[in-house]
Copies of this chain bind each other. A is one copy, B any other.
Amino acid sequence: MDDFKKIDSYLYKNFNKSISELSTYVAQPSISAQNIGLKECAQLVKEMLMVRGFKARVMETEGAPVVYAERKGKSDKTLLIYNHYDVQPPEPLELWESPPFEPSLRGDKLYGRGVSDDKSHLTARLFAIDAILDTDGELPCNIKFIIEGEEETSSVHLHGFIKENLELLKADACIWEFGGVDHREVPMQYLGLRGICYVELSVESLGTDVHSGLGGSIFPNAAWRLVWALNSLKGPDERIRIPGFYDNIVPPSARDRELMNALPDVAEVYKKQFGVKEFIKGLKGGTDLKMEEVFTPTCTICGLTSGYQGPGSKTVQPAFASAKVDFRLVPGQKPEDIVAKLRLHLDNEGFSDIQVTLLGGEPAARTDPDDPFIKIVVDTAEEVFESPMEIVPMIGGSGPNYPFVHDLGLPVATMGHGYPDTRAHAPNENIRLDLYLKHAQHMARVIKEFAK
């Protein structure tokens, strides 16, 4: 491990330069949900790769472009690194302590929209590559990057892109976009992601909004239609009522429960961090809470909108209403099947007036905890984090790992510098600088061990 002294020394000395590059990257808005700044950001990413000697190109899709890059190395092995350059919308703006697209360094943290999810993960990995090139003059293996711009809108075109570019993306293993430490500062290896099926439900009940004194007794009300349709999907017992929704689910194994059981309890952490007074379904904590969090599918209302929403009262009967609904899927469920069952259910329940628009979908996928590549990533963490990684068989979030696992046939390892208060998707998103450095150190070690 002698060569890591030089590498670590490079990382200490050049730290500010990497944070400066990250700040420039964060200052470029790239909001996929609102189609803001995507082309500009893809161009910026391409340039960041080219200055490292990568052959990089911006490849068009029907949505946001994908940045692809590769650089040859000493061994025949190929590592594929997946990141995304798009970010969540910054709203609600009034809750940010500094403007979301003006990166702000306060104490040992850097704040900004997308700073954690996922822009810093790309720059920290480039920083590790800089250190290897500076120390060894070459890469120890081939490295490919695939950096998409639609991760925050369910990666609508990525699956198709991968299917069309199987040869280009051929590799032996894959590093996922994110990772991090838990509340005990222990680095975590997340080996599976739930799938997602994100839909918008909308209804138009009248040609125009109407004075509520006139229409209330006799005209259909879009907001009521939406409420009743939503209520037909899930009741206070939290059971999803769409017939067939739970069909074909692959239940967690005894090994999964064993791995989950080995992880620390999260109940008190969640209560404190998110202001949860009581968990749903009577959950109190322990392994049951942890299992429920990731191994059950969900039906979450992410947004509701109808009629007048300003201060005070407006007596109007709304002609239009809509809801954003996010289903998280577990292994065995397929988004296209869920949408079809949702449509059928709404029709059968008398809600054929409710329009369903699929905004994004991806099935769940998992990597085998016993894959040799996973062992490399888990073991190399110890020197940097003073603890080996703990293996989490699956997490509650989603991402497009299905085509990496099932189309490219790769083991997919997570690593990164997220931490419990990183506020991804929320105001005041931030990273801790000490963890950023550790991720770069860990990355350099993974690349070199993998190349052997």
Binding site for B on A (CB under 8 A): 32-35, 88-89, 91, 152-154, 194, 196, 198, 200, 206-221, 223-224, 226-228, 230-231, 234-236, 270, 274-281, 283, 289, 292-294, 296, 298-319, 321, 323-324, 326, 328, 350, 359-360, 395-398, 424-426
Contact = CB atoms under 8 A, between A and B. Distances in A.
Given A235-B228, A293-B217, A308 B314 contact: no
A305 B304 CA distance: 5
Given A91-B308, A206-B274, A228-B231, A313 B301 contact: no
B293 A315 contact: no
Most chain B CB neighbours (cut-off 10 Å) among A196, A301, A398: A301
A281 B227 contact: no
Contact of A278 (B198, B220, B302, B321): B220
Contacts of A198: 313, 315
A105 B298 CA distance: 54
4 A-B pairs with least C-beta separation: A207-B275, A213-B397, A216-B298, A33-B312
A116 to B, nearest CB: 11
Nearest to A423: B208
A285 to B, nearest CB: 10
A168 to B, nearest CB: 28
Given A328-B216, A396-B213, A396-B216, A302 B274 contact: no
B306 A359 contact: no
Contact of A89 (B34, B280, B314, B359): B314
B33 A314 contact: yes
A152 B323 CA distance: 28
Most chain B CB neighbours (cut-off 10 Å) among A278, A303, A315, A397: A315
Contacts of A234: 224
A413 B177 CA distance: 71
A53 B94 CA distance: 50
A318 to B, nearest CB: 7
A312 B89 CA distance: 10
